[in-house]
């Protein structure tokens, strides 16, 4: 019956799978299997494949969900009374989400995406520019740094799994972000 909404239990199972996939990608990485995601969601592998055509389809939903969360955080940051606080909330969310979903975009690069990621990215770029511009106009964020630079600086909080033979601690992004934010703060702020 075309056009019918999935049953409530079917929607719940899909949400469980999305939540489990986000958690698994954060802990295990993008190589997590459909079996592991189903196990974490508390559903069978048959339920997984009845609700989703593939692991890549689920990871696409997770990627879209991640961008949607970032867009929502950027909008909320623009509503905060203090532009620096708004910027730092956005920056922390960006760094955290990048750290917990790093590699999703790369693993899906060769897969046809059923969701419009490009529109989400364009919206996120526009909002990032607004969040940065607002903090700069308030005098709290250095004005010699372009909003595009901010995207790269925030992405730099999450590097490869090791450096100079040292293993990357899971929360290294937090320290990196603190140092980056200290460097971005306007000297007079």
Which token pair is 88?
């730092």
Calculate mean pLDDT across residues 140-167. 82
| pLDDT over 60 (residue 4) | no
The pLDDT of residue 95:
86
The pLDDT of residue 27:
80
**Which of 44-53, 57-66, 106-115 is modeled with the greatest confidence?**
44-53
**Average per-residue pLDDT for the chain:** 84
Which token pair is 15?
């949400």
DSSP label of 5: P
Confidence of residue 143 (pLDDT cuts 50, 70, 90): very high
d(CA 176, CA 95): 9
Give 95: exposed, middle or buried? Use CB within 10 Å, 0-12, 13-18, 19+: buried
Structural domains of the chain ordered from first start = 1-52 (1.10.10.60), 55-184 (1.10.357.10)
| pLDDT over 80 (residue 167) | no
| pLDDT over 70 (residue 104) | no
In this predicted structure, which of 19-33, 89-103, 159-173 has the lowest mean pLDDT?
159-173
The pLDDT of residue 1:
44
d(CA 124, CA 97): 13
User: Which carries the bigger pLDDT value, residue 30 or residue 132?
Assistant: 132
Give 37: exposed, middle or buried? Use CB within 10 Å, 0-12, 13-18, 19+: buried
In this predicted structure, which of 14-23, 97-106, 107-116, 161-170 has the lowest mean pLDDT?
107-116
């Amino acid at each position: 019956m075309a056009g019918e909404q999935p049953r409530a239990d079917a929607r719940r199972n899909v949400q469980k799978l999305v939540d489990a996939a986000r958690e698994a990608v954060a802990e295990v990485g993008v190589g997590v299997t459909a079996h592991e995601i189903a196990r974490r969601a508390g559903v069978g592998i048959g339920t997984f494949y009845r609700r989703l055509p593939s692991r890549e389809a689920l990871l696409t939903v997770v990627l879209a969900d991640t961008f949607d969360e970032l867009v929502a955080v950027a909008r909320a940051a623009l509503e905060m009374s203090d532009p620096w606080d708004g910027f730092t909330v956005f920056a922390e969310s960006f760094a955290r989400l990048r750290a917990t979903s790093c590699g999703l975009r790369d693993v899906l690069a060769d897969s046809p995406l059923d969701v419009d990621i490009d529109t989400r990215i364009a919206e996120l770029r526009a909002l990032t520019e607004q969040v940065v511009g607002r903090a700069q106009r308030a005098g709290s964020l250095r004005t010699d740094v372009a909003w595009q630079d901010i995207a790269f600086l925030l992405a730099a909080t999450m590097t490869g799994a090791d450096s100079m033979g040292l293993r990357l601690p899971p929360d290294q992004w937090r320290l990196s972000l603190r140092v980056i934010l200290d460097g971005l703060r306007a000297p007079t702020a």
